[in-house]
């Protein structure tokens, strides 16, 4: 066990799973926000999408120059800690965690598709925008279920990678040419690329699933006006697989802390 002491803010099931996993490697003191916890800790571990309330009492738990770790930390929270001399790292920016979370995200998308469509997935046409970690996992799982996946990606390398994996592929600027065949549309691109013009060309019973971050990729208002089924599905790992997601976060936090410790030597 490392000699690092963590002051951990309690949260949802994902946060609880992360805390329990971290206890295998570090001394962890849990407390309810905003009450103060154990004094003199090296690290403050806050839940993903941290509360934007006052952290004044929480600071009493930390050593000078302590490390604050959280996921998708609001700018106001980051500014608060940095103005008091604490170091802040956002574990959600970690590339390895993004790869880890791609699988529970894709499984969540499959669950939505099964729940919100009227036909079996096998034989369905699925249009997926982008070809990063989440998109590639979605394509893989849909393909395993017998669906025909088409990737709309901007980079030629992504399109060739998609083709090598057995998917169809088009330039992202040509979504309008293929959306008319799609039973399911999954967006992973955080930039609006599916507007009213594209949605008008889609099937009346097509299902649109949005998993990208703000500013998103699907025109939600247009989907509503055109009476298309639309599901906004943020944070799927924490909703669909909170225990696994929490363990992934713990693995990432452990790596960050051990690397940080190594860097001090």
Per-chain mean pLDDT for the chain: 94
Report pLDDT digits (tens) over 112-142: 999 999 999 999 999 999 999 999 999 999 9
The pLDDT assigned to 65 comes to 94
Q: How confident is the model at residue 178 (pLDDT cuts 50, 70, 90)?
A: very high
Q: What is the pLDDT of residue 49?
A: 72
CATH of 5-91+242-263, one of 3.10.129.10, 3.50.50.60, 3.40.50.720, 3.40.228.10: 3.40.50.720
Q: Which CATH superfamily is domain 97-234 in?
A: NAD(P)-binding Rossmann-like Domain (3.40.50.720)
Q: Given this model, what pLDDT does residue 51 score?
A: 66
Q: Indicate the pLDDT class of residue 59, thresholds 50, 70 and 90.
A: confident
Q: Tell me, what's the pLDDT at 55?
A: 85
What's the whole-model pTM score?
A: 0.91
Range in 3-7, 182-186, 226-230 the model is least confident about = 3-7
pLDDT range class, residue 48, cuts 50, 70, 90: confident
Percent of the chain topping pLDDT 70: 96
* 216 in Cβ contact with 139 (< 8 Å): no
Strand spans (E) along the chain: 5-9, 27-31, 41-45, 62-70, 87-90, 125-129, 148-153, 168-171, 184-187, 207-210, 229-232
CA pseudo-torsion sign 137, 135, 91, 264: positive
Query: What pLDDT is recorded for position 44?
Result: 95
pLDDT at res. 265: 44
| Of 38 and 223, more confident | 223
CA distance 105 to 111: 10
| Coil, strand or helix at 260 | helix
- Model confidence band, residue 101 (pLDDT cutoffs 50, 70, 90): very high
**Would you give the distance in Å from CA 36 to the centre of its chain?**
29
Instruction: State both tokens at 141.
Output: 């799982």
Q: Where are the domains of the chain?
A: 5-91+242-263, 97-234
pLDDT tier for residue 186 given thresholds of 50, 70 and 90: very high
Q: Are 93 and 69 in contact (CB under 8 A)?
A: no
pLDDT surpassing 60 at residue 242: yes
Cβ atoms of residues 30 and 19 within 8 Å: yes
């Amino acid at each position: 066990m490392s000699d690092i002491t963590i002051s951990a803010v309690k949260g949802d099931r994902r946060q609880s799973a992360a805390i329990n996993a971290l206890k295998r490697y570090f001394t962890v003191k849990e407390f309810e926000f905003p009450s103060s916890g154990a004094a003199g800790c090296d690290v403050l571990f806050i839940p993903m999408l941290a509360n934007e309330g006052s952290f004044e009492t929480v600071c009493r738990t930390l050593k000078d120059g302590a490390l604050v770790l959280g996921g998708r930390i609001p700018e106001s929270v980051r500014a608060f800690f940095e103005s008091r001399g604490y170091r802040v790292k956002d574990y959600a920016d970690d590339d390895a965690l993004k790869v880890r979370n791609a699988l529970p995200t894709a499984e969540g998308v499959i669950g939505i598709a099964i729940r919100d469509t009227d036909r079996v997935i096998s034989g369905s046409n699925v249009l997926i925008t982008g070809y990063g970690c989440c998109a590639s996992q979605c394509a893989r799982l849909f393909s395993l279920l017998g669906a025909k996946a088409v990737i709309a990606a901007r980079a030629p390398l992504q399109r060739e990678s998609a083709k090598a994996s057995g998917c169809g592929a088009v330039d992202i600027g040509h979504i309008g040419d293929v959306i008319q065949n799609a039973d399911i549309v999954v967006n992973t691109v955080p930039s609006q690329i599916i507007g009213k013009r594209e949605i008008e060309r889609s099937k009346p019973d097509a299902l649109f699933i949005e998993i990208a971050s703000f500013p998103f990729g699907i025109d939600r208002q247009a989907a509503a006006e055109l009476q298309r089924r639309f599901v906004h599905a943020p944070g799927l790992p924490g909703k669909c697989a909170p225990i696994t997601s929490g363990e992934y976060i713990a693995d990432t936090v452990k790596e960050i802390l051990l690397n940080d410790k190594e860097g001090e030597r």
